[in-house]
């Protein structure tokens, strides 16, 4: 068989009744792959074969739960009787689908099932004895918090489903498992609360997923593009989370989550811009402190995007905004710097981005060394050599640190910061105003499946201000039965 035609051919091919032919076909389709295990065995006097994929199932479980009971089956008159006996009198596994074609055969085989073929049967029995190596549940490294749970999603979709189920023991939480990817057959799982999810949202998400014709889905990014309806937006309209507790809170608000096998992140739809400033810890602290920290985050976002641009605009075009003492300090510092202020700032920012990238991709031990080299050696040397001025470096450092406060907005902050610097350098506050309006319109135009990213500020929902402008306590928060449907704006 031509490998190119393989993917189309075998999917619906029925399992032949003749065992040897069946095994030969399995070998042919798998192209004698080294991880394919086929063990001929006689069960109840009938010639059978147990098939598995090496490393995908647990040998111990298979031996104790499948092989041992199978060898104890008394002699059967036919393979039909044997299969009826196994299905009706033995409980070898809770998950034991019947396989009739090679599409299902290989999907289950590669998912850690053990499959029993028998002479004279045009079907096979699959037993779920998955036992592949997987990462144990650990801290969600990308979404640290202080007072919340220390459990994060892992790469195994079923473990992730169980993490959610443990927190929501209600039949209203529905999981819809399906496969996506022509080659990878990746398990994906839609999760939602049936009584809270806006039906039009669920319908549209399913439609979009059905339209996604991908060969493989290896991470969230593959599907994110299909779930973000707004093109050209610099802000995300779907969010990612690594935390089952955060995801539960999102589901409670009527959102839909998508779990993907092989990735420890869940996609949550829709995402509002204000969610970038909400963390799980906000709900663990006293309301007054949570409200304070939220306003700090808003301020940090503005500082991260605008501070260097304002500094440049004021220094270059509107020095009257500075008081005379500050003006003298800046004049003195800038007089010694060889580059123009915007160039100097962009240079420092690009250096920072390079260092950050280097630190991210390198092993942790070397990453630390990168920080030392960049921070101490390059930074100190650049300032003392007069290549860059201290006030400018201070501004950039404050801006970069402020950006760490809202990690979800890292990408838009990085790009906007540089664009604002250019606009501020060229046209001062006038340029910042122009670009500010462009960014604001970009945000205002961002919507996903009819849910505007600017909600609940625009459209304004006064009730939602209790978790945006401030954070009320749970006595008040528990009342109201809020769902995102309140923000839905029909397209016309």
**CB-based contact 216:445 (threshold 8 Å):** no
Minimum Å gap between C-beta 392 and another protein is 10
**CB-based contact 305:405 (threshold 8 Å):** no
Binding mask 388-427 for another protein (x = CB under 8 A): -------------------------------x--x--xxx
d(CA 58, CA 328): 73
Among residues 22, 156, 220, 315, which is the contact residue for another protein, using CB under 8 A? 315
Minimum Å gap between C-beta 384 and another protein is 19
Any contact of residue 254 with another protein (CB under 8 A)?
no
Among residues 158, 317, 417, 471, which is the contact residue for another protein, using CB under 8 A? 317
DSSP state of 388: S
Among residues 321, 369, 377, 465, which is the contact residue for another protein, using CB under 8 A? 321
3-state secondary structure 316-346: HCCHHHCCHHHHHHHHHHHHCCCCCHHHHHH
Any contact of residue 199 with another protein (CB under 8 A)?
no
Where in 443-482 is the site for another protein (CB under 8 A)? 443-445, 452, 454, 457-460
CB nearer another protein, residue 62 or residue 313: 313
Instruction: Please list, in sequence order, all residues whose beta carbon lies within 8 angstroms of the beta carbon of residue 79, skipping any fewer than 6 positions away.
Output: 46, 48, 118, 119, 120, 121
**CB-based contact 84:121 (threshold 8 Å):** no
d(CA 293, CA 275): 14
Instruction: Please list, in sequence order, all residues whose beta carbon lies within 8 angstroms of the beta carbon of residue 410, skipping any fewer than 6 positions away.
Output: 403
d(CA 250, CA 41): 50
- Other Cβ atoms closer than 10 A to 7: 12
Rg (CA), the chain: 29
CB nearer another protein, residue 317 or residue 471: 317
Among residues 18, 110, 196, 318, which is the contact residue for another protein, using CB under 8 A? 318
Binding residues with another protein: total (CB under 8 A): 55
Binding mask 263-302 for another protein (x = CB under 8 A): ----------------------------------------
**CB-based contact 417:305 (threshold 8 Å):** yes
Any contact of residue 55 with another protein (CB under 8 A)?
no
Find the length of the chain: 492
Any contact of residue 308 with another protein (CB under 8 A)?
no
DSSP state of 51: E
Minimum Å gap between C-beta 202 and another protein is 18
Minimum Å gap between C-beta 271 and another protein is 16
Q: Choose the binding region for another protein from 14-22, 98-106, 175-183, 309-317 (rule: CB under 8 A).
A: 309-317
CB nearer another protein, residue 289 or residue 441: 441
Any contact of residue 428 with another protein (CB under 8 A)?
yes
Minimum Å gap between C-beta 89 and another protein is 58
Any contact of residue 328 with another protein (CB under 8 A)?
yes
Minimum Å gap between C-beta 465 and another protein is 12
Task: Name the helix (H) or strand (E) containing 52.
Answer: strand 46-53
Any contact of residue 343 with another protein (CB under 8 A)?
yes
Would you give the distance in Å from CA 416 to the centre of its chain? 23
- Other Cβ atoms closer than 10 A to 404: 11
Nearest of 16, 480, 447, 476 to residue 230 by alpha carbon: 447
Contacts to another protein by CB under 8 A = 314-324, 327-328, 330-332, 334-335, 339-343, 346, 419, 422, 425-434, 436-438, 440-445, 452, 454, 457-460, 488-490, 492
């Amino acid at each position: 068989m031509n490998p190119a035609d393989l993917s189309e051919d075998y999917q619906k091919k029925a399992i032949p009744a003749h065992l040897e032919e069946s095994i030969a076909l399995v070998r042919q389709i798998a192209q004698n792959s080294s991880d394919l295990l086929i063990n001929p065995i006689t069960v109840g006097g009938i010639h059978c074969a147990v098939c598995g994929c090496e490393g995908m199932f647990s040998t111990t479980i298979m031996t104790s739960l499948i092989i041992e009971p199978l060898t104890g089956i008394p002699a059967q008159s036919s393979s039909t009787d044997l299969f009826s006996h196994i299905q009706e009198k033995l409980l070898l596994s809770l998950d034991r689908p019947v396989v009739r074609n090679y599409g299902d055969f290989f999907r289950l085989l590669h998912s850690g099932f053990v499959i029993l073929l028998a002479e004279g049967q045009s079907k096979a029995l699959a037993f779920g004895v998955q036992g592949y190596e997987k990462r144990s549940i650990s801290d969600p490294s990308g979404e640290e918090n202080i007072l919340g749970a220390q459990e994060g999603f892992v790469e195994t979709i079923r473990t992730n489903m169980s993490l959610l189920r443990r927190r929501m023991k209600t039949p209203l939480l529905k999981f819809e498992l399906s496969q996506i990817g022509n080659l990878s057959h990746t398990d994906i799982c839609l999760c939602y609360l049936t009584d809270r999810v806006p039906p039009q949202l669920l319908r549209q998400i399913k439609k979009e997923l059905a339209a996604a014709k991908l060969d493989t889905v290896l991470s969230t990014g593959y599907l994110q593009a299909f779930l973000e309806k707004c093109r050209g937006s610099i802000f995300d309209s779907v969010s990612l989370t690594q935390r089952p507790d955060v995801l539960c809170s999102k589901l409670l608000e009527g959102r839909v989550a998508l779990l993907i096998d092989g990735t420890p992140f869940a996609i949550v739809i829709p995402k509002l811009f204000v969610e970038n400033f909400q963390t799980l810890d906000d709900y663990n602290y006293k309301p007054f402190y949570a409200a304070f920290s939220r306003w700090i985050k808003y301020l940090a976002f503005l500082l991260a995007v605008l501070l260097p641009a304002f500094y440049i605009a004021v220094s270059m075009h509107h020095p009257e905004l500075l008081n005379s003492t500050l003006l003298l300090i800046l004049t003195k510092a800038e007089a010694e710097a060889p580059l123009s202020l915007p160039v100097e700032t962009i240079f420092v920012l690009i250096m920072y981005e390079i260092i950050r990238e280097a630190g991210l991709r390198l092993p942790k031990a070397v990453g630390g060394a990168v920080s030392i080299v960049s921070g101490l050696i390059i930074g100190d040397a650049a300032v003392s050599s007069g290549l860059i001025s201290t006030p400018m470096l201070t501004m950039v450092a404050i801006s970069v640190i402020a950006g760490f406060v809202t990690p979800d907005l890292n990408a838009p902050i990085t790009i906007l910061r540089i664009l604002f610097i250019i606009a501020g350098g060229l046209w001062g506050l006038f340029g910042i105003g122009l670009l500010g309006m462009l960014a604001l319109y970009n945000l205002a135009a961002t919507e996903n499946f009819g849910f505007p990213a600017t909600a609940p500020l625009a459209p304004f929902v006064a009730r939602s201000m209790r978790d945006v402008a401030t954070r009320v306590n749970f006595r008040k928060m528990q009342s109201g039965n809020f769902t995102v449907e309140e923000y839905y704006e029909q397209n016309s």
